[in-house]
Amino acid sequence: MAPRSRTAHPSVSQQIEQMLKARSIDFDFEPNVQIAEIRDAEGNQVRLTEHRAPKEQVEKYAVAMKHGATFPAIVLNDRLERIDGNTRLEARIKNGDETIAAYICHGLTPLEARSLSVELNQSNGLAMTEEEIRRFVDGAVREGQHADLRTLSRMTGVKDSKIARWVAESQFGTRAEREHIDERHVSVLAPSTRAALQPARLAAVFRGATELAADARMKVADVKKLVAKANAASSESEALAVVDAERELRIDEIRAVASGFSPRDDRRSKGSAQHLGGLARFAVEDLLDVAPEKQFDTYTRMKLLRDRLDEVVARAEREWDLTPRADAGDAAEAQADDTLTAPATAAVAS
C-alpha cells in the first residue's frame, strides 16, 4: 500500500522508504513527532538493551546535530513504539529537542517489527552482533515461522549455512520440549549436536538418538551418520533397532560418562579389539542360532556391524601400515586354531 502522505524534508530517506515498500508496509512520514509520546516497548527490537544507543555514539550524534547535521528519520509503529533509531532519538533528547522526524509504520506485528529492525540496523546503524541476530532467528522459529535462508542471509549478512544451523538448533529445542525429553539430556548437548539430531524423522528415533548422544557424548559426525541410517530404515522398528544397536556398540562410552569421565580413544580401541576377538570365535551357524522373535532385531544389528566393518577395512587399507611382520604368520595360525577349537558359548544378541 502506498504511503498516505509525502513531505519534502531533509530527514527523508530513500533507502528506508525502499525497504518499507519492498515489504509492502503502509507508512507515513511525520516531520515533528513529539518525543514525549514515543514509547520504548520490548518485543519490537532485536538489539540487546545494553547495545542500544551507546553513550559515545549518542555524544557524537548530539554534537553533529547541534552543528546542523541531518540524520535519517527514525522508525516507529503506529503506537509510537521504537523500531529503529535509538541513538538518533537519544541524541535529540540529550540536546533538549522536543520533536523528531519519524516514519510511522501501520499494522506491523511484533515479528515484522523485529525483522525490519534487523535490516535497518544492518544497513543504517551499528551492525548487530551475532548473538542478537541469532536471538532474532531463534524467536521467529519458536513462534512457528518458516525461515527463508536466502532472505535472512541478505538481511543480516550471515551465511545461509550458519543460519540453517541456527534454525535447526532452535527447532531441536522446540521439539525436545514437545517430546518431553529430560533436560539433563538436552543440556549436555553442544549446539551443533542438537542441529545434527533435528533431522530425525520419527519421534521415537528422535528421543532415542538424543538420549544416546547425551549418554555417550557422541561426536557430531557420528550423530549425523546415526540419524541418516535411521532415516533410511524401511520401518519404525528397523529405525529403532539402528539406535539400539548403536547404544550397544557404545556401552563402554556410556559407562565412562556415567562414572564422571570422558571416553578415551585408547579405551575404545582396546574394547573394539576385544569385541572383534569374541566375534571371531563364532561359526556361521552359531551366529544364526537366534530365537525367532529376536531375529529381525539381530539381523538389523548385524547389517549395521557389517557396514561399519566394511568402512573400517577400507580405511585401514588406506591408512595403516599393513606390511606383514616376521611373527605375523605364526600369530595368525594360532588365532585360527583357537577359533576352530573354542566353543561358542554366547549368542550375538540376547
Q: What is the pLDDT of residues 109-154, one digit of tens each?
A: 888 888 888 888 777 666 677 888 888 888 888 777 787 888 888 8
292-299: average pLDDT: 86
Structure confidence at residue 49 (pLDDT): 63
Structure confidence at residue 73 (pLDDT): 93
297-313: average pLDDT: 86
What average pLDDT is seen over the chain? 83
Structure confidence at residue 314 (pLDDT): 87
57-77: average pLDDT: 92
Instruction: Write out the chain in H/E/C secondary structure.
Output: CCCCCCCCCCCCCHHHHHHHHHCCCEEEEEEEEEHHHCECCCCCCCCCHHHCCCHHHHHHHHHHHHCCCCCCCEEEECCCEEEECHHHHHHHHHCCCCEEEEEEEECCCHHHHHHHHHHHHHHHCCCCCHHHHHHHHHHHHHCCCCCCHHHHHHHHCCCHHHHHHHHHHHHHHHHHHHCCCCHHHHHCCCHHHHHHHCCCCCHHHHHHHHHHHHHHCCCHHHHHHHHHHHHCCCCHHHHHHHHHHHHHHCHHHHHHHHCCCCCCHHHHHHHHHHHHHHHCCCCHHHHHCCCHHHHHHHHHHHHHHHHHHHHHHHHHHHHCCCCCCCCHHHHHHHHHHHHHHCCCCCCCCC
Structure confidence at residue 317 (pLDDT): 85
Assign domain 14-128 to its CATH architecture: Alpha-Beta Complex (3.90)
Query: Is residue 210 predicted with pLDDT exceeding 70?
Result: yes
